[in-house]
Homo-oligomer: A and B are copies of this chain.
């Protein structure tokens, strides 16, 4: 890099380092540059800043409506879980339930050094943990609420925060506290539970693709990767630009395992007592990290237009102060027309240099950036750039044309993101049928998923390769009908 000629050849990017140079560092830079989140003084817990939180709000609003249309009822269960509840569910104990925040006292008092310490007199008889999931506390309520087959199906959901103590954390991808929704349903028959797990996975896939331009493979997990206690876990596995897998959502068919351990039983139509068939499912703020790693480029975030906090940003390019008034007025007129038509639009009228505003819009991934100068105003037109295509896409349209066609532009951006992500996924999924082939693939530093026949999982040689390259089974894609399984490095 000491050769000036080389330095010149490297294109200027808003984000340093680039994806190729250091993908994990690039990721952190994008989050920072887009002003989406930051680390907090609480180890492992993030602050989601307004721009990142607006994205999450847009996502939850859409999906919440879908859940309600599907008959889900939202409710709220306690943040704290009695430790005895975790002990009850033996398989939880060996799962994630151990690494969690434990509440042992209910009062602070002045300590010897003047600071505050937990009051010894206020030690709880039974400690609580902050929910790592609400499985047991919701199950306990279901056991009370379900008495007869008439009470079924019971379809509950909760949007909320949960906590799993993480040693190594990364904004959105792995944080001790995160946000999610968790659905917990109880059914009369095994078929209904199975259908629910499949249906909700279908909702996830549709939501991710149609709103987030976020694609991946959906299918059952292998036994080793199943949720503790589930008879089937279905995962949605997305591929990041470094070829690693990110699990973006799961649904679980818990059969009667969970209802038996917690006592969710009902009087059936035949008058006999039976245990309910339950499911649970979730997606979390982790998806935001996945969206950054799937869509972003070396200039920062690219926001999928249908959930973008700002879909269109208008920059008045003021060259001389005398004309500023008219120009600002012109921009405001376009803004109100856009808002009236239902677009999330904004004028950036801050007292800052235009190139700085432009780069900020780029780094934040705002889908359409409109630049309006004297020339545009005189021609009653606008010039705009698509974030996904960059400056090559610069187009000038009359205001009427822009208003008539802007929805189409946003849809085209969505389609472009989705199809390029689909292509990347397909291009980086290798069909391989031998253990040697798997070793060769990863030894050659290729990135992506390998899709192998499920029988290969029985081969002890494969375990060595998996250990060597830190591969895990991701899912058995539905389209392969259980004959193939995906292996990948993962987040």
Contacts and interface: CB of A to CB of B under 8 A. Distances in A.
Interface of A: 40-42, 45-50, 52-54, 56-57, 73-87, 93, 97-110, 114-119, 122, 127-130, 137, 140-141, 150, 156, 160-161, 163, 165, 177, 179, 350-351
A50 B156 contact: yes
A115 B40 contact: no
Contacts of A45: 78-80
**Oligomer: number of copies:** 2
B74 A87 contact: no
Nearest to A77: B47
Indicate the member of A74, A104, A351 with the most B CB atoms within 10 Å: A104
Contacts of A41: 82, 85, 137, 140
A138 to B, nearest CB: 9
A439 B457 CA distance: 84
B74 A50 contact: yes
Contacts of A128: 42, 101
Q: Is the interface of A mostly helix, strand, loop or mixed?
A: mixed
Contacts of A47: 75-78, 141
Contact of A103 (B56, B57, B97, B130): B130
A219 B100 CA distance: 44
A48 B351 CA distance: 47
Nearest to A128: B42
Nearest to A156: B50
Contacts of A82: 41-42
11 contacts: A40-B141, A46-B78, A47-B77, A52-B75, A79-B79, A79-B130, A87-B115, A101-B106, A102-B105, A103-B104, A104-B118
A129 B42 CA distance: 11
Given A50-B74, A87-B115, 19 more contacts: A40-B137, A42-B81, A42-B128, A45-B80, A48-B75, A50-B75, A53-B76, A54-B74, A78-B177, A79-B79, A83-B115, A84-B115, A98-B108, A98-B119, A99-B106, A103-B104, A104-B104, A106-B165, A160-B161
A129 B76 CA distance: 21
Nearest to A163: B79
A116 B93 contact: yes
A182 to B, nearest CB: 14
Contacts of A78: 40, 42, 45-47, 177
A49 B75 contact: yes
Contacts of A350: 150
B130 A130 contact: yes
A108 B41 CA distance: 23
A150 B80 contact: no
Contacts of A101: 80, 103, 105-106, 128
Contacts of A165: 106-107
Contacts of A105: 101-102, 104, 127
A42 B75 CA distance: 16
A452 B323 CA distance: 60
Contacts of A93: 110, 116
Contact of A102 (B81, B99, B103): B103
Contacts of A160: 161
A102 B106 contact: yes
A480 B53 CA distance: 42
Contacts of A114: 87
